[in-house]
Amino acid sequence: QLKGAVFDLDGVITDTARFHSQAWKQIADKVGDGWDEELADALKGIDRMASLDLILKHGGKQHDFTPAEKTALATEKNTRYLQLVDTLTPADILPGIQDFLDALRAGGYKLALASASKNAPRVLKNLGLTDYFPHIVDPATLTHGKPDPEIFVKAAESIDLAPEACIGIEDAAAGVQGINAAGELSIGIGDAEELHEACIVFPSTAELTLPNIKAAMEKGDV
Ligand code: G6P
Ligand code: MG
């Protein structure tokens, strides 16, 4: 019996995954590093410093920067990212998400946010969705990032539910792995191949509805 929903934010509720990529690409270009779509996908769901490490490693530059220089690069990325985030308005909520949140609320489901982003409250505020998420896992309290299940386990705990009573919604392969390892029902949004580990995959948030989830479960895919 499903009683709760654990949401990723970036790339699920709004298209901030694009903003993260845009801001990181500027850093990669600046340090003379390569950038490609595969790298962009690998960064989804990964926390700030781990993302920078992956970018530097991608260009073989992981030994070229001191910790202080890396902190400065991460801060520069975040400043650029926040400029983009502050252009967000409720019109930037991805298709179907507002209706899905309202349907979950009306159905008595509890909601929690499991985003690795320290900027999640600001993004939700700009989208006008703060009230939907009184339960946000603070990424500063985490020992391990996605694909570790920790953030999803804590999200279920925050709404007093067993992981088995929750669906988890993610656009990143690392996130889907974390949801599965936590014991929640994973719903991937995006490319079925990239997210092949998810219990259910919808090509976009427009298909993310309770009837579609129930239909997929009854079909025995899950
Ligand atoms: C999310 C995004 C990642 C981002 C991470 C940290 O997981 O998918 O791309 O790196 O949050 O975000 P922050 O806003 O704290 O740098
Ligand atoms: Mg995401």
Q: Ligand 1 centroid vs 211 CA: distance in angstroms?
A: 30
Residue 58 pLDDT: 93
Instruction: Answer yes or no: are the C-beta atoms of 88 and 14 closer than 8 Å.
Output: yes
| Mutational pocket test of ligand 1: of 51, 144, 189, the residue with most ligand atoms within 8 Å of the beta carbon | 51
Q: Ligand 2 centroid vs 31 CA: distance in angstroms?
A: 25
Task: Spell out the residues 6+ positions from residue 204 whose beta carbon is closer than 8 angstroms to its own.
Answer: 94, 95, 96, 189, 190
Residue 140 pLDDT: 95
The closest ligand to the CA of 175 turns out to be 2
Residue 222 pLDDT: 65
The closest ligand to the CA of 44 turns out to be 1
| Mutational pocket test of ligand 1: of 20, 71, 171, the residue with most ligand atoms within 8 Å of the beta carbon | 20
Distance CA 172, CA 167 (A): 15
CA distances from 185 to 11, 14, 118, 155, 194 (A): 18, 21, 25, 14, 17
Q: Ligand 1 centroid vs 45 CA: distance in angstroms?
A: 6
Distance CA 174, CA 42 (A): 8
Residue 220 pLDDT: 72
Sequential pLDDT tens for the chain (222 residues): 899 999 999 999 999 999 999 999 999 999 877 899 999 989 999 999 999 999 999 999 989 999 999 999 999 999 999 999 999 999 999 999 999 999 999 999 999 999 999 999 999 999 999 999 999 999 999 999 999 999 999 999 999 999 999 999 999 999 999 999 999 999 999 999 999 999 999 999 999 999 999 999 998 756
Residue 221 pLDDT: 57
Q: What is the ipTM of this complex?
A: 0.98
Distance CA 49, CA 128 (A): 28
Q: How many Cα atoms occupy the beta-carbon half-sphere of 4 within 13 Å?
A: 26
